[in-house]
Amino acid sequence: MRIAIQFYSYFADLAGCAEASEDLPATATIGDLMHRLHARFPKLAAMDKSTLIAVGVEYRPRGYVLKEGDEVSLFPPVQGG
Amino acid sequence: MWNAECEMKRELKITTEPIDERALVASRRMSAGMGAAACFTGVVRSDEEGQSISAIEYTAFPQMAEHQFNLLFDEIAKRWPIESVRLVHRLGVVKVNEPSLWVEVVAPHRGEAFAACQWLIDEMKRVVPIWKKPLP
């Protein structure tokens, strides 16, 4: 299945792009996706512990099982106000 | 007695336009039973982590920011007897001394108005995807 990924804030600078996509096997989790992304974008791997992850507009844990068409967003801690 | 079934009014604006506090206050609506309107204005400071700055550039994941704000408003409606919440968050470049955030909570008494306002801002800083980049 194909998963779309968006990077926000300085994560886009670290990745060198604002969007990417990955082809993953069915039943892959966000954790599986993160393995792929860290290999592809090593600068993001260093931020792993502080990375926030959403699918659509909801926060999701790394064990979340992805499905075709999911849009995953990765970003650093938020700083509104 | 607070009736959680009552609909809490809510207004949310995430905008690149300057925040007009005077116009916001002038447009306040309070029913006769309301005795408190707690307002908070967040203003850009001239220093960020010890560095002198001229402005902050705010960016967001807008659809998710709106959704997360609405989840926070839902939670406020469950926790406190609030008549209305209005929140404006600015995006883009906001210069020093200009407001980046404006929040108003209207309630029967100051206790719940202050508590809800404080909670909303604390939670916003935890879950709403907005980021800031200090500009020299």
Q: Which domains does chain A have, with CATH numbers?
A: 2-75 (3.10.20.30)
Domain count for chain B, please give it. 1
Could you give the C-alpha distances from B33 to B30, B38, B104, B131, in angstroms and in order? 8, 15, 17, 38
Report how far apart, in Å, the C-alpha atoms of B35 and of each of A32, A78, B3, B29, B135 are. Answer: 53, 33, 17, 12, 41
Residue A23 has pLDDT above 50, yes or no: yes
Q: What is the pTM of this model?
A: 0.94
Provide the pLDDT for residue B11. Answer: 98
Chain A residues inside the 8 Å CB shell of B122: none
Q: Do A78 and B89 touch (CB under 8 A)?
A: no
> Residue B61: which of A8, A79, A81 has the nearest Cβ?
A8
Q: Domain containing B58: what range?
A: 9-135
CA–CA gap between residue B86 and residue B12 (Å, rounded): 6
Q: Are B80 and B106 in contact (CB under 8 A)?
A: no
Tell me which chain B residue has its CA closest to the CA of residue A7: B61
Tell me whether residue B3 is in a domain.
Answer: no
Whether the CB-CB separation of A38 and B87 falls below 8 Å is answered with no
Q: Do B67 and A57 touch (CB under 8 A)?
A: yes
pLDDT at B49: 87
Confidence of residue B6 (pLDDT cuts 50, 70, 90): low
B93-126 per-position pLDDT tens digit: 999 999 999 999 999 999 999 999 999 999 999 9
What is the reported pLDDT for B1? 44
Mean pLDDT on A24-53: 97
B21-68 residue pLDDT tens = 999 999 999 999 999 999 999 999 999 989 999 999 999 999 999 999
Query: Given CB atoms, is B67 within the 8 Å cutoff of chain A?
Result: yes
